[in-house]
Amino acid sequence: MEPVESNLHILLVDDDPALSELLTEYLAGEGIRTTAAFNGLDGEKAALSGSFDAVILDVMLPGIDGNEVLRRIRKTSNVPVIMLTAKGGDVDRVVGLEMGADDYVPKPYFPRELLARLRAVLRRQGDVKPSQRTSLALGGLELSSGKREALWNGSSFDLTTSEFDLLEQLMLGGENVSTKEALSLKVLGRAREAYDRSVDVHVSNLRKKLAACSLGLIEIETIRSVGYRLKVSA
C-alpha cells in the first residue's frame, strides 16, 4: 500500500461516534489526522474553516443533512468532498454529485476502500510535480495544471477537483472522443462500474459552468454510448 503524507488533515462529518472512532484510528495508522463533527451545522462550520485537506461527509445527519451541508460548502469552497451514502441510495449519490461532491462511498464500507477513494481525490488535487506542470489552451480556454486554475478569455472560474481533472482530460483528448471508462479511471481513479453515473453527473456540472462562463461558446459534446468531446467556438 502506498504511503500517505503525514501532514494531511481530514474532516469526518458523521453522527455515529463508534464508526467515527474506528475510521479515525484506521486513518491515523496511515498517517492521516482526522477531526470529527457529529452534526451538519458543526460540519459546515469546520469545512469552511480552511483547515482541512478533504471532507468525508455522511448524507444522514441531525440538524441539516449532508446534501445541504455540501450545498453550503460549495457556495464558497472547492475543498474535496467524499459523500457517505446508504447502500443502494442511488438518488443520494446522484444528488451529492450534482451538488459538487468529488466522489461517494456507500455504507457500510471498508475503511480500506474509503482510504483508496480519499487517496485518489487527494492525488488528483495535489500531486503535480514542478517538472510536470503544464498549461493547456484551446481558443479562449486555458488550464494550468500547476496552479489548478481555469481561465476563459483571461478570467478565472471555479471548478471542483473532479471538474478540473475532467476538463483537463477532455482538453488533452483534443478532437478525439474521451470514453466514459477512460474518464472514470483518469478522473475518479477507479474503473467505471455498471450503471455508474458519476462521470455523467460530473460532465453535466462542468457543462453548466463552461456554458455560463463562456456564454455558450464552450460545449461538451455527448457521443452516444461512447463518451464526450470538448468543442470551443472561440
37, β-bridge pairs = 13
Which cell numbers hold the place of 24? 479515525
Instruction: Give the domain range for residue 204.
Output: 130-232
Residues 108 and 159 occupy one common structural domain: no
Residues 120 and 161 occupy one common structural domain: no
pLDDT at 87: 66
Question: Degrees (nearest 5) of the Cα angle 32, 36, 39?
Answer: 150
Instruction: Determine the residue type at 90.
Output: D
Q: What is the pLDDT of residues 11-70, one digit of tens each?
A: 999 999 999 999 999 999 999 999 999 999 999 999 999 999 999 999 999 989 999 999
CATH of residue 18's domain is 3.40.50.2300
Contact 109/117 with Cβ under 8 angstroms? Answer: no
pLDDT at 150: 96
Residue 4 lies in a domain: no
Question: Degrees (nearest 5) of the Cα angle 87, 90, 191?
Answer: 85
Domain boundary among 100, 126, 152: 126
In angstroms, rounded to a whole number, what is the distance separating the alpha carbons of residues 62 and 64? 6
Residues 185 and 96 occupy one common structural domain: no
Residue 30 lies in a domain: yes
pLDDT at 128: 44
Residues 103 and 185 occupy one common structural domain: no
pLDDT at 4: 45
3-state secondary structure 174-206: CCCCEEHHHHHHHHHCCCCCCCCCHHHHHHHHH
Name the 3-class secondary structure at 150. Answer: strand
State phi, psi for 63 to the nearest 5 degrees: 85, -95
pLDDT at 1: 42
In angstroms, rounded to a whole number, what is the distance separating the alpha carbons of residues 50 and 28? 21
CATH of residue 152's domain is 1.10.10.10
HSE (side-chain half, CA atoms, 13 Å) at 159 = 31
pLDDT at 28: 95
pLDDT at 93: 84
pTM here is 0.80
Q: Residue 11 class from Cβ within 10 Å (0-12 exposed, 13-18 middle, 19+ buried)?
A: buried
Low-confidence ranges of the chain (pLDDT < 50): 1-4, 128-131
Residues 170 and 223 occupy one common structural domain: yes
Name the one residue in this structure whose C-alpha cell is 464552450.
218
In angstroms, rounded to a whole number, what is the distance separating the alpha carbons of residues 41 and 68? 10
Residues 117 and 135 occupy one common structural domain: no
In total, how many domains does the chain have?
2
Domain boundary among 106, 126, 146: 126
Residue 3 lies in a domain: no
Residues 122 and 139 occupy one common structural domain: no
Residue 66 lies in a domain: yes
